[in-house]
Homo-oligomer: A and B are copies of this chain.
Amino acid sequence: MREVAIIGIGQTPVAEQWEKSIREIAGDALLHALADAGKETVDGIFVGNMLSGILSNQENLGTLIADWVGLRGVEAVKIEAACGSGAAAVRMGTLAVASGMMDCVVAMGVEKMSETPMPETTAALATAADADFEADEGISFVGLNALIMRRYLYEYKWKHTDFGPFSINAHANALNNPNARLHEKITQEQYNRARMIADPINLMDASPTGDGAAALVLVPLDSIAGKHKGRVVTIAGSGAATDSIAVHDRYDPLWLAAAEASAHKAYAQAGVTPQDIDLFELHDAFSIMAALSLEACGFVERGQGPRLGLEGVIFLDGKLPIATQGGLKARGHPVGATGVYQILEVVQQLRGEAGKNQLAKAHIGMAQNIGGSGSNIITHILKGTG
């Protein structure tokens, strides 16, 4: 099995890109990644996307994008794992390069959501849940997360306001990210007073969707000449796991078993422990998911996720920075692209190219992308070579 390296990254802003179709958004990120890698073509394109069929009447998305960017002929496929589609596509690209069957691939994610009226988007996002036993009963995706957060508050005796630091940190970090959806510093008081979405989840607990794409260029590490190695990042660990799709079927709705399993696969492959991780781009689609992810990956004991916010561990100057470019909460959450944005932001940190948000110590970074309400989770661990 060949070791896989990331040699190029590209992204578009997460925004309402009214003037661009899904192919144009995808193409922008892909071409930026190729330019960053100094490549003109690739052997395969792996596109993470959840909603193009429902929202843009467009399947066969891999073909569309290959054709649009001038890579007609190149093998291309779409990968879907709900909001985990982006990291799932990176994992497929990693398998392709590791296998020896491809020498250079693009793994990317794209989503176009702004053109659709919000009720339809809410219905589309509910396809990540169990259609027959959750969505058909009328519960929305934010509603499922609200049930989990309410139970968590009851079980572990936290106040809702204790989750504020997750949101405050994300908004603060996004101020320095030109590609972020939101550029607005918020205070604990603003968090406390935000309008309710699905009790107890308020507007400041929930991430904004948007249009966006991010792309990575993957090659075998041993194909890289010495002079390029400084900016190269390796995919040291990659793991994926599932849980029940329906929250009511879960053995413990307050424990992300798939986060734990996928993180442990990635730790084992990378030969590291949670103590070795310098930053963690986690899936803060809702603040409760940030807490559960930190617990399942072994950064804090069960039921104590909010403590890492309250104690400042998760801030840029803390021991385990998260959401270093704004996270889902403020960079934004174009669902099928999010997992690739997360990995791209880890690459920026490991390369030392994270701008004003650059961490002093960034050698090993982790990204975790969640599909469904904790049902399909993919974890990557990256190492710098600089």
Contact = CB atoms under 8 A, between A and B. Distances in A.
Nearest to A124: B53
Interface stretch (A72-80, A182-190, A272-280): A72-80
A249 interface: yes
A80 B80 contact: yes
A132 B22 CA distance: 10
B242 A67 contact: yes
As for how many copies of this chain the complex holds, the number is 2
Contact of A76 (B61, B67, B376): B376
A249 B242 CA distance: 40
A147 to B, nearest CB: 18
A92 B77 contact: yes
Contacts of A124: 53
A245 B194 CA distance: 45
Nearest to A21: B132
B244 A59 contact: no
B81 A77 contact: yes
Interface in A93-112: 95-96, 98-101
Nearest to A135: B57
A68 to B, nearest CB: 9
Nearest to A71: B242
B51 A127 contact: no
28 contacts: A1-B99, A1-B100, A23-B132, A50-B53, A51-B53, A56-B131, A57-B127, A57-B135, A59-B80, A60-B81, A60-B245, A60-B371, A60-B376, A62-B80, A62-B376, A63-B82, A63-B372, A64-B245, A67-B242, A67-B249, A73-B258, A74-B242, A75-B242, A77-B79, A77-B376, A79-B80, A92-B95, A99-B99
Interface of A: 1, 21, 23, 44, 50-51, 53-54, 56-64, 66-67, 72-82, 88, 91-92, 95-96, 98-101, 123-124, 126-132, 135-136, 238, 240-246, 249, 257-258, 261-262, 371-372, 375-376
Given A57-B131, A57-B136, 19 more contacts: A53-B53, A53-B54, A60-B128, A60-B372, A61-B80, A63-B81, A67-B249, A72-B243, A73-B261, A74-B241, A74-B242, A76-B376, A77-B81, A77-B88, A77-B92, A77-B376, A78-B80, A95-B96, A99-B99
